[in-house]
Structure 1
Amino acid sequence: MIYHCNRMKLKQGLPPEQIATALEHLKEQGRIPAVQSFVVGPEHGSEFDWGAIFVLADLDAYWEYLTHPAHKRSERAGVPLLEKFECYDVSDDPDPGLEARIAELQKRNYEADPELVTLMAGLASHTGSSAVTHAA
C-alpha cells in the first residue's frame, strides 16, 4: 500500500467559496477508482491548513491516480490557491527502490503536463515526492 499524503497552506484572503470548490475537487480525487480510501480535512497542530491522504494499492494505482482527469482538475483549481505545498508517500512495501519508482512516475507526469510544471513552479514552497525537481 502507498499512502499519498498532501499538506497545503493557503494564501491569505481567499474567498470561502473558492476554498470550498478546491476542497470539493480534492474529495473528487478520493473517488478516483484507483483510490482505495481517502481523507481530506483541516490539519491540526502544524503550519498547514489542509491535508489529504489517498490510499493506493501499488504503483499502477498511483499512476492511474496521477493521470486521472479528476486529479488534473483538482490541481488546476487548487494549486493557484496555495502558498505552500508538501507531498510525501508512506508505504509498507519493503522494496528499497519504491522511492525511485514513485519519483519516476512523478517525473513522467510532469513531462506530459507542462502546464502543471508551471503551476507548481509558481509556489513559494513545494517539497516532497511531487516536487518539480523530479521533472528535470
Structure 2
Amino acid sequence: MRNKLIFLYAICLAVCFGGYAIYTQHALKKAQTFYFKIENRDPLALMSGEYMQLNYSFEWEFIVEKAPVKEVTLYVDERGVAGNVKTDKPLVIPVHRITGRLPHQFYFKEGTAKKYDTAAYAQLKRLPDGRFLISGLADEKLKLL
C-alpha cells in the first residue's frame, strides 16, 4: 500500500511539473517582447554554469538617482525598445530596492561567452502574470545572438 501511495505522489508531481512547463512554454509564445538597453555586462562562472550579470541602463538613471521609487515608467517604441523617450505605449516596471523587478542573470552554455560580447540589448518577454523572462541577448540592430 505504501509503495502505491509513493507511486501516486510521484505521478502527481510529474503531472504538475509537466503542466507548469507546458503552460510556461505556451505563455512565452504569446508573451509581449521588449528590448532593454544593457550596460556593464559582467560574465561570471559559478557552480551553476556560466552566466552574465546584466545591468539595465534605465536602472541607474531612474532608480538610483531618484531613489526611493516604487515603479518606473518606460516607453516602448515601434521596434519594441523600452526607453525614456515618450511614446503612446507606456511600460510600468515595479522597483524592488534599487533594481527593477527584471531578471538580471542570463545563463548560457559554457565556453560561448565570446558570442555575447557584442550584446547591447536584453530581449525580455512579459508573461500574463506580469513577470519578465530573458529570452536572449541582441546586438545594436536587435538581431539575437
Same-fold call, TM cutoff 0.5:
no
Bigger strand fraction: 2
Bigger helix fraction: 1
Shorter-chain TM range is under 0.3
Normalised to the residue count of structure 2, the TM-score between the two structures is 0.20
Greater RCO (CA < 8 Å, at least 6 residues apart):
1
Q: Give 1 or 2 for the bigger CA radius of gyration.
A: 2
Normalised to the residue count of structure 1, the TM-score between the two structures is 0.21
